[in-house]
Every structure is written in structure tokens, then in C-alpha cells.
Amino acid sequence: MCSRLNRVPPFLRGLVKPSSKFGRLALALMLLVGVSLSCLGIGYIYGGSGAVEPYLFKSHLSQFTLATMTYDARLWNLKMYVKHYSRCASVKEIVVIWNKGTPPEVTELDSAVPVRIRVEKRNSLNNRFNIDPLIKTRAVLELDDDIMMSCDFIEKGFRVWREHPERLVGFYPRYVDQTMTYSAEKFARSHEGYNMILTGAAFMDAGFAFGMYQSDVAKPGREFVDEQFNCEDVLLNFLYANASGSAKAVEYVRPSALVLDTSKFSGVAISGNTDQHYRKRSECLRRFSELYGSLSDRRWEFGGRKDGWDL
């Protein structure tokens, strides 16, 4: 029997009155989403690994660390996130980078793998890429706590990263042209190529990526990230491009069409005001281009993989 949503999420309490017309509609929609997701054969949320087994690379299996950055206002997201992704086949550990507020107890999180909560001293987006000697895997998947996708596509991304561990491998491509104007994925599609991968959902080599991000070379970029409270993912792309020379620095993997962005429900994402968010990111593109060189002379086409995972 498919499970159903049986309570109002914390962020809607006080806003949704079940007796009102709007309340009944909101609860009906939530019930529909909950039933739809729980009935899917992929075990999308609250059950199953999402992949029958991990994807082999050169006849070998390996594991990765899942890292997410969050704070107290997003605890509802985190609980759902941990319960789902801890059941993915190749996840060894989940590291929660806690930026603000009182952290939860690990026992509050329903996880099939070890969870470690790393409490940071100050609220900075740069914390996402802090060097962490307790991470035991080479591969880290940085994945925002408001992104829900099937484990099968997470496993595919990990398979691609193992082919190219020197690259950022992720699910959200962007294209930066000479105008240095930040645009959504639609712009990359219209130009039939990409030169940036958002690290809100990307695999990376922890030692290489974090060491580079915390280097003296990256210090002016980190300071700009703190000033804007934005763009840590953009900065890492510029650093990868700078380090790779003419070689390919990023790799796109197409996710499932079924991806749930829970920030649309919680209203606590920094990207909530799209126009303001894009303006800040355009400023970052211009600043990082001055510091580390432009990305506009790079472009990699969609559809270059033989397995078709990037179409």
C-alpha cells in the first residue's frame, strides 16, 4: 500500500488551515505529491535505494561521501534528505555542514549510513568547501539539501566521475558567454553547450577541490563570496578551469526528469528572488573573470557521451 502525507510540514503550519478552501487545496496537492512519489518504483523518497545495484567502473565498486550545507530553518528538508539519500547504494557517509542555529542530534535523523554534523563557527557559503580530514573517500558529492532526485541518477553521476575524477561532474549545466551575464540552463541549451556545472549537485575530488578552494590564490574569490553571500559554486568552476588549462574541466550528466526542488515549498533559499540572485551571480562572473580568467572561450557540447547520459 502506498504511503501518504499525514501532516503539514513545519514551514506551512499557521499558513494552511485545513478548514479553508485554500487549506483543503494545499493539503490535497501535498497528498497527491506524497502519494505519487511514494508509489514510484524507484523508491524516490523514504524507501529503497533507487538503484538495484551500483554502477560498475572497470569492474570495481567504490563509495562516496555525501555533503550538504544547511541551517536550523531547513531542518525539515534535511530530515527528508538524509532518509532518502542514505539509502543510495554508494553513499558511505553523510556530512552535514551546519552553518547557523542549534544543530539537531544525529539520532533525530533516520539514516542507513553514518551521519556527521560539522558545526561551523560562522555562517559562510565558503564552508561548503572547507578541508575536512575526517572525510575518508576521495569522491564527495556536494548536494543541496533541497534537491531530491532518484538514487539511480546519483549512481550514474558517480559512475561518470570515476571516469574523470579530475573534473567537476554534475547535473546542472550553465553557459557563460562574453557578456558575463548569468543565465539558466535554457541559455546553455540554446547555445548547444556548457562551460560551468553548479556545485549544488556535483561530484568532485575532495583533496583537490577543497585544497584549491582554500588556497591563497582563491582568497580574493572567497572574500567576494562572503561579500555577496553567493557564488561559491561559481568560484569553484573558475578555479577548476584555471587549473585545467585547455583540458575539459567540467562534465554534465543528465538527471531524471523527476527532480523535486523543496526550496519552492520552504521559501528559505537564497535564490528565492531570481532577479536579485542572477544580478549577484553576474557580478561574480565579472569579478572572477578578472581574477582567474574568462570561461567564455570554453564550451563543451551536449551529447558527447557515448552512453547518452548528457543529452
Enumerate the active-site residues: 233
Residue 8 and residue 150: Cα distance in Å, rounded? 24
Helix, strand, coil percentages in the chain from 3-state DSSP, rounded to 5: 40, 15, 45
Residue 141's identity, in one-letter code, is L
The per-type count for the chain, helices as H runs and strands as E runs, is 9, 13
Instruction: Give just the sign of the alpha carbon dihedral 240, 281, 222, 216.
Output: positive
Q: Which residues of 259-291 are buried (b: 16+ CB within 10 A; e: fewer)?
A: ebebbebbebbebeeeeebeebbbbbbebbbeb
- Give the Cα separation of 301 and 304 in Å (integer): 6
In angstroms, the Cα distances linking 168 to 42, 114, 205, 273 are 26, 25, 8, 27
